[in-house]
Every structure is written in C-alpha cells, then in structure tokens.
Amino acid sequence: MSGRSEWTRWTNSMLMLAVLLPAGLVQAEENSSWQPDRWLDVWPAAAPGETDRNTGEALPRRPQENPPATRIRGITRPRLAVYEPEAGKKNGAAVLILPGGGYNYVVVDKEGSEIAARFNQAGITAFVLHYRTKRTEEQTKSTGEAKPASGSEPAEPLWRRPLEDVARAVRVVRAGAKEQGLDPERIGVLGLSAGGQVTSILATRFQQEWYEPVDELDGGSCRPDFVMLIYPYQIVTRDGGGLMEPIEVTAETPPTFLVHTHDDRSSSLGSVLFYAGLKRHDVPAGLHIYPNGGHGYGLRAVPGSLVHTWPDRAIDWLKVQKLLP
C-alpha cells in the first residue's frame, strides 16, 4: 500500500470516529478562541499506554489575565488543529506548533492558534498539536523529569508522551503532505516553553524509535526539515554546563531558529548552548536573545520589550534558508 493511500484510509477512518464520538469529548475545542479549519487525530486508536481517548478540558480563565489564555488539561487523545492560509496564499510549507504549559496543560491559543494565524499570513499551513498532558502527581514540572514514588522505579520523564505524539504527528503530516498541497521536505516543528523542550529532543533524537510502530505511516521519517525553539523550557543542566539529557546536537540536527530573553528564569543558556552545538557542526541557525520580556509571552506584546517581533525574524530566517518563496 502506498503512503498516500494509507494516509487516505487512515484519515477517512478518523473522520468516521469523529462522527461517532460522544459530545463530551469535544468540550475542549469549544472553549478555544479560534476554531481550526479541521482536526486530525495523531493516533488511529488509543495512544501508547493510554486506556481512554479524552480531548481534555479547559481550565477556568485567570481573572487578572488580559487578554486571557485557554489552557487544556487531561489530554489523552492527542490531535492536530489545522489552520490553513487564505486561498491563494498557501506556499507548501508547514509548521507543527507545540505550545507550552509545563506539561500540566496545553496553552492552545496564546501559544498555539495565535501563532498559527501569524504563520498563515506568510502562506504557511499550521498544525497546533494538542499533546498528552501530565497524568500523575509523581511527575514534577520543575525538573522536566519524573519523580519516583517511595520504593518504586522512576516514572517516565514528563517529555516522553508528548515526544511520542510529535514524532507521530510529523509522520502523519508528511504522509499526507502532497494530498494537502504541502511539500514533504518543508515541514518544520516550532516548540514553545515545555513544547520547546520536547522539540529540542525530537530535533536531536529523531533517529530513535520512541514508540512501537502502529501502522505503515510509522515507516516514514519524523525528522523535521526545520526547527524553531521559542523560549525552550530548561534544556540546560542544573549547573548550566551543558544541555539536558537526552539532547545532543549533531551535524544531522535540522536548521534551527532560537528565541529567548536575557531575563527569562528558564535560562537562555540552554538556547545559547544549543546554538553553539549547531555552530560547531556547521548547521544553519539563527539565535535572538532579547534583553527583556520574561517567559510565556507567545507573540503578545510585553511592556518595554520588543520580544513580540520574533515572528518577523523567524519568517525572515525561513526565507533566507529558502524554506519560503
């Protein structure tokens, strides 16, 4: 069976599942500030290690947050929210966006659909990944690692299930690229905060099999053609001397664009060290360290900072890399 026919069969089955699902499983997207053009399931059935398929629930809005952000927790059924450019603008490039949320939730608008809209303006098709969120209290977001229960083996790292989801999502998008009017060699991944930590691992460990293959789509590559790391969360070791395990930049790491602020408590040293690895291996890269702006801004303006201009720099970089017309 060809990759295209496999993808067509799989997406048709997903559409049938969507029709059959109970109304309670769509509550998450009803709370989202901007509805996607369509949804794609990442897995044809339950995701690895899951026993249910829940799209998650929206947390109450934070009263002092203006404009507010939508945070979805309890996701066990990862999906891609697809945002298409206006008719006639589509240029064949695609970006998968991994929002942040400390693995507790996924910030689907501030770090998802709003960024998708900006990239749509440049003709890029955007896919916002609603990846699986933290399930147990044994895991702690402060280190990005699992915290073992007393007398037990260590639980899995917080990034593990989201990493499985994005590896599979890249394969899903690439398998259906031509059918969707996309170039299978211009598919990138953009990660913010915790999503940036996951993307950092995928960018350097895409050769590793992170899950057991479930169908023919898993025979395809999950290597992004480009990567964007936007204030990646704690990718540096505690002593600041190196990149966290299992990140290891090599000559095979995709071209990468990085953004951080000097005053981000999730240290910009991680982005600097990642960039240094790219430079060492002669991988095309761009690094922007803004003097201020903190963390978690998405592309919203921060008083006294120009950090909200990073998408302009990112799109310029894509053009220089000949990834955009």
pLDDT in tens, 147-185: 444 444 457 899 999 999 999 999 999 999 999 999 999
pLDDT in tens, 263-306: 999 999 999 999 999 999 999 999 999 999 999 999 999 999 99
At 155 the pLDDT is 75
pLDDT in tens, 22-35: 333 333 444 445 79
Percent of the chain at pLDDT exceeding 70: 84
At 244 the pLDDT is 96
At 142 the pLDDT is 40
Give the domain ranges of the chain.
3-143+152-320
At 99 the pLDDT is 98
More confident residue, 37 or 13: 37
Distance, CA of 82 to CA of 291 (rounded, Å): 33
Mean pLDDT of the region 76-92: 96
> What is the 3-class SS of 198-251, one letter each residue?
HHHHHHHHCCCCCCCCCCHHHHCCCCCCEEEEECCCCCECCCCCCECCCCCCCC
CB neighbours of residue 128 within 10 Å: 29
At 135 the pLDDT is 77
At 154 the pLDDT is 52
Q: Binning pLDDT at 50, 70 and 90, where does residue 234 land?
A: very high
Largest distance between two CA atoms of the chain: 60
Q: How many CA atoms lie within 13 A of 64 on its CB side?
A: 0
Mean pLDDT of the region 194-212: 97
Whether the model clears a pTM of 0.85, i.e. scores above it, the answer is yes
Q: Is the pLDDT of residue 140 over 80?
A: no
Q: How many CA atoms lie within 13 A of 58 on its CB side?
A: 17
Q: Is the pLDDT of residue 116 over 70?
A: yes
Mean of per-residue pLDDT scores for the chain: 88
CATH number of the domain at 3-143+152-320, please? 3.40.50.1820
